[in-house]
Amino acid sequence: MTVTLSKIRKNASNILVYAVLSVLGILWVLPIAYLVYTAFRVTPSTGIINTLFPSGLRLGIGNFTRLFGDTMFSKWLANTLLVSVCSCALSTAFILMVSYALSRLRFRLRKPIMNILLVLGMFPGFMSMIAVYFILKAMGLTNSLLALILVYSGSAALSYYICKGFFDTVPRAMEEAAILDGASQPVVFWKIILPMAKPIIVYTVLTSFISPWCDFIFVNTIISDRDKYTVSLGLYKMINAEKNSFNDNFTVFCAGAFVVGGIIVSLFMSMQRYYVEGVTSGAVKG
């Protein structure tokens, strides 16, 4: 009897958990499904429609035609890709080198530096936005893509902890053997450590790419030239250009969001296995 009651409680608990997870899953998927549906929606009025399935609904690629033909979306996408790729390359290099140095080298200020970087990384970036803006203005770098690249990659080292955790798991014996054979520390890093660190490199590349790709606040602060907009700022300006722009361009906005999100999803799905390995391998105490 006791076993039966315990089994009933366990089944009831599982049903409740699955029910809650199902509701949360539906709530999470609904906005994405609506965005995709609206991106391909063709109606007599291309703006927002109050009913989910209006009469006379048709699907097509007209919104994408307007997106690439009537706006500067291609230019904005190219700007975003340039900034994201350059920032990703610099950020990945900074994070890997800082993480390896903090993992392997032992010096007096190592612990304080790690603690300071960890604390600074907890503060949101927009808190320093005004100061960064005036620094860039004094250097004559406002309203330029170079400024975005410098800012996005300049604070990359603050995200060292996951990567450092991965390097802590690499046996020191391999490095010691290479050093005994005459290899220098940089050679050990480039020839031995990095080939073994593919999962954490992929993880670092993905996280470093996504941040500048999706950023809006800082771009909106320093970029005013329409030719230098990124996709987030360009789509925002497009949908708020005039009084009725939001309603008239809503489906075009969703088409742009579909393209931007589709690129990130494709990149993530193609590297998902390495991403998971990188996170789990770096989740150790160092």
Q: Report the pLDDT value the prediction gives residue 275, as an integer from 0 to 100.
A: 60
Q: Indicate the domain borders of the chain.
A: 2-63, 70-282
pTM of structure: 0.79
Percentage, residues of the chain above pLDDT 70: 86
Q: Which helix (H) or strand (E) holds 234?
A: helix 231-239
CATH architecture group of domain 70-282: Orthogonal Bundle (1.10)
pLDDT tens-place string over residues 108-143: 888 888 888 878 777 777 777 888 888 888 888 888
Split at pLDDT 50, 70, 90, the class of 183 is confident
pLDDT in tens, 45-75: 555 555 555 555 666 788 888 888 888 889 9
Q: What is the pLDDT of residue 24?
A: 92
Structure tokens at 64: 């994408």
Looking at 23-27, 173-177, 237-241, 244-248, which range is the least confident one? 244-248
- For 236-284, write each residue's pLDDT tens digit: 888 877 666 677 788 888 888 899 988 888 888 877 766 665 555 544 4
Token output for 176: 């010691």
**pLDDT for residue 54:** 56
